[in-house]
Amino acid sequence: MRSLTFASILVPLLSFIFYRNFLRMPSLSTVRAFNAAFSPSYTPVAIFVGGTSGIGQGIAEAFARHTKGNAHIVIVGRNRAAAESIISTFPKPTVPGVTHEFVECDISLMKNVRHVATDLRARIPRINFLVLTPGVMTMNGRNETEEGIDRKLAVHYYGRWRFIKDLLPAVEEAHNAGEDAKVLSVLSAGYGGGKIDLEDLGLKKSFSLPNAAAAAGTYNDIMINDFAARFPGLSFIHSHPGFVASNLMKTSNTPSLRFMNNILMPILRPFAYSVETSGEHQLYGLLKAGPGAVRTTDNGDDIGLSKRYFGSPEAMARLWKHTEEATSV
Ligand SMILES: *[C@@H]1O[C@H](CO)[C@@H](O)[C@H](O)[C@H]1NC(C)=O
């Protein structure tokens, strides 16, 4: 009986994941062809915050492949060895002066984000693509950094917001030069968001795992909307990556998640996007996006603001003020 119940849950679930990941349009070959056709008249500059593993790695690798290495690529993250090994697989640039580099940053601390952003601003005058993917998976409760921000929210929202804010002048430079000027935050558009409490932004009083997940998703939605309203002409995208076989669970600090990874991943892997495939779909969503606020699914389709959007003009104003204060260290 129990196994029947188990099957009755697992089979529809797997079918659903399979349907979502593989049968929907556009197909991987369409997406790949679209990405391969990207051939800007300028040498693009792309920054991948969280590009040392998982989806960020997948997007950075796809970008390097399709530009044939002729792009200034900066991977920002904690793991230098991983970044260097990823960069070593990039096609070597043939355009003089173009580099692929790693910059170390633990994004959970805003002082690090500000320091790295200042360094990047000082030596990189224009940025065409700013991609933010850093993630942690944990089932532990609130865990504050020395700056008073929950670590998970810091990585999924506050650090991303601060990177965007501080690097935006360089993205505007690209826009003013008539080039691509786009920001992509990969988290949970259309799926993870939920109602947020405007009286407790940052969840100091009402932290729970569901509240934290809802807040991170909705804060990201509001973030792209707000930046898009303030900086017309630029693209701000919040995407949902779908189910990706990354090492998020494997490297979790929650034992039960690591355990589930060992048991479930072998079963689920065939139903998941590989890091490479996810990278192609996410890059497609990025390259295809027009100006303004864009929310995309795992396949890069724009779902607009109709589905599971919990923002409002008031939420926008209050979250901006709260975030500016919380990240101004
Ligand atoms: C809080 O985060 C730190 C740094 O990641 C970690 O070492 C510590 O174990 C975490 N504490 C809890 C209770 O999760």
- Write out the DSSP string of 195-236: ---GGGTT-SSS--HHHHHHHHHHHHHHHHHHHHHHSTTSEE
Distance 87 CA to ligand 1 centre (A): 30
Tell the residue nearest (CA) to atom 8 of ligand 1.
143
Q: Name the residue with tokens 């691509």.
A: 180
Q: Which atom of ligand 1 is nearest to the CA of 151?
A: 2
Q: Which residues line ligand 1 (CB under 6 A)?
A: 140, 143, 151
Q: Using only C-alpha atoms, what is the Rg of the chain?
A: 19
Q: For each of the chain's 329 residues, which pLDDT tens digit applies?
A: 455 566 666 777 777 666 665 556 688 999 999 999 999 999 999 999 999 999 999 999 999 999 999 999 999 999 999 999 999 999 999 999 999 999 999 999 999 999 999 999 999 999 999 999 998 777 788 999 999 999 999 999 999 999 999 999 999 999 999 999 999 999 999 887 899 999 999 999 999 989 999 999 999 999 999 999 999 999 999 999 888 887 777 788 888 888 877 888 788 877 788 899 999 999 999 999 999 999 998 878 888 887 889 999 999 999 999 999 999 98
**pLDDT of the residue at 263:** 80
What class does CATH assign to 43-326?
alpha beta
* For the chain, domain boundaries: 43-326
Q: Which residues contact 290 (CB under 8 A, 6 or more apart)?
A: 235
d(CA 216, CA 218): 6
Distance 143 CA to ligand 1 centre (A): 6
Task: Indicate the SS3 state at residue 114.
Answer: helix
